[in-house]
């Protein structure tokens, strides 16, 4: 557990000396990383790849700004999500910062407010307050309003979150220039992909969802039904994106290979441990979905 909450640790550590200040700063940075750790493959990589497909960064500063936009918003979401999901984390993710005792719920709440303030200030400075406000509403709906417990709304609200990430990253990658019509279309497509396939994440966490009374597709359709629906959407989106964005043949081969591998894995083994591995493959396919937009041949005015 952090020896001091974020609001007081700088002053306390300053009294103890520079070495203690550096140690506590490193401890806080590690805690923040642990909040973000589980999202590196599922959210950070897909979002950054989507941003680069929408708008190639104009320079290193633009790339860093896009990354900061993503992390400020994503970590805020994760802190709030883990604060209200303690029972779920105790059941399936005991290494997370709050349930492991690394940081107290009160200190986590202060950290959450800090990230919210920082994300809004950063967005205001770059002219992207709209996606930030939408993201804030999505956080509230997902956590406080319990939308994450409704199986037919969970993926939809997550898709809204993804869309705000792509929107903000795309604008910042382009040097704070508003997105083109084609980029906006790509974001809508990408949000629709997650709305219809995002339940891939639920098969690996059935015990945690059951612990908090959450209903998911994996729980509503515990047999082959939910898995076959997922496979159908993965294959349909793969074919649709190949048609829509016209990637080169080599990319098509990789894309179809990932779609096939992901589908087979979800159908072949239904254990939660296997579903964790299947979800990793889903994320590789998901990343490829986003990046395929870079091959679009028509730019809409």
Q: 185 — phi, psi (to 5°)?
A: -60, -45
**What are the angstrom distances between the C-alpha of 142 and each of 27, 49, 82, 178, 298?**
29, 25, 12, 27, 36
Assess if residue 174 is contained within a domain: yes
Residue 176 has pLDDT above 70, yes or no: yes
Which class for 177: exposed (0-12), middle (13-18), buried (19 or more C-beta within 10 A)?
middle
**30/24 Cα distance (integer angstroms):** 10
Assess if residue 106 is contained within a domain: yes
Instruction: Give the tens place of pLDDT for each residue, 194-241.
Output: 999 999 998 988 877 776 677 788 888 877 888 999 999 999 999 999
Contacts of 75 (CB under 8 A, 6+ apart): 32, 35, 36, 115
Assess if residue 241 is contained within a domain: no
Q: In terms of pLDDT, which residue wins out, 18 or 107?
A: 107
> Cβ distance 82 to 98 under 8 Å?
yes
Q: Which secondary-structure segment (H or E) carries 23?
A: helix 18-37
Assess if residue 64 is contained within a domain: yes
Assess if residue 294 is contained within a domain: no
**209/194 Cα distance (integer angstroms):** 19
Q: Find the domain containing 169 and state its range.
A: 54-179
What does DSSP assign to residue 284?
H
Rama region for 246: left / alpha / beta (φ>0; ψ in -120 to 50; rest) = left
What does DSSP assign to residue 301?
-
- Read off the CATH number of the domain in which 139 is found: 1.10.357
Assess if residue 165 is contained within a domain: yes
**296/299 Cα distance (integer angstroms):** 7
Total count of domains within the chain = 1
**3-class SS at 278?**
helix
Assess if residue 141 is contained within a domain: yes
Assess if residue 127 is contained within a domain: yes
| Rounded average pLDDT over 70-96 | 87
Residue 17 has pLDDT above 70, yes or no: no
Rama region for 88: left / alpha / beta (φ>0; ψ in -120 to 50; rest) = alpha
**43/287 Cα distance (integer angstroms):** 9
Contacts of 10 (CB under 8 A, 6+ apart): 21
Q: Which secondary-structure segment (H or E) carries 81?
A: helix 60-84
Instruction: Give the tens place of pLDDT for each residue, 123-169.
Output: 999 999 999 999 999 999 998 888 888 888 889 999 999 999 999 99
Its pTM stands at: 0.86
> Cβ distance 195 to 156 under 8 Å?
yes
């Amino acid at each position: 557990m952090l020896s001091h909450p974020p609001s007081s640790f700088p002053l306390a550590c300053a009294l103890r000396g520079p070495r203690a200040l550096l140690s506590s700063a490193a401890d806080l940075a590690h805690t923040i990383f642990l909040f973000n750790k589980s999202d590196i493959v599922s959210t950070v990589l897909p979002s950054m790849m989507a941003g680069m497909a929408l708008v190639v960064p104009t320079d290193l500063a633009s790339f860093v700004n896009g990354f900061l936009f993503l992390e400020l918003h994503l970590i805020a979401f994760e802190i709030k999500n883990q604060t209200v999901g303690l029972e779920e984390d105790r059941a399936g993710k005991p290494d997370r910062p709050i349930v492991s005792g690394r940081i107290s719920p009160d200190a986590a709440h202060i950290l959450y407010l800090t990230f919210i303030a920082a994300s809004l200030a950063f967005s205001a400075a770059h002219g992207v307050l709209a996606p930030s406000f939408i993201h804030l509403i999505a956080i509230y709906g997902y956590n406080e309003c319990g939308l994450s417990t409704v199986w037919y709304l969970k993926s939809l609200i997550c898709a809204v979150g993804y869309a705000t990430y792509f929107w903000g990253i795309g604008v910042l990658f382009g040097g704070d220039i508003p997105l083109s019509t084609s980029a906006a279309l790509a974001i809508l497509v990408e949000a629709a992909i997650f709305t219809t396939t995002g339940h891939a994440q639920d098969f690996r966490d059935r015990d945690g969802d059951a612990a908090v009374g959450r209903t998911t597709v994996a729980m509503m359709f515990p047999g082959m039904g939910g898995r076959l629906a997922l496979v159908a959407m993965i294959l349909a989106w793969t074919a649709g994106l190949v048609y829509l964005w016209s990637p080169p043949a080599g990319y098509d081969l990789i894309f179809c290979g990932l779609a096939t591998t992901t589908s087979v894995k979800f159908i072949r083994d239904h254990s939660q441990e296997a579903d964790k591995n299947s979800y990793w493959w889903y994320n590789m396919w998901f990343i490829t979905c986003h990046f395929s937009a870079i091959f679009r041949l028509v730019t809409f005015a």
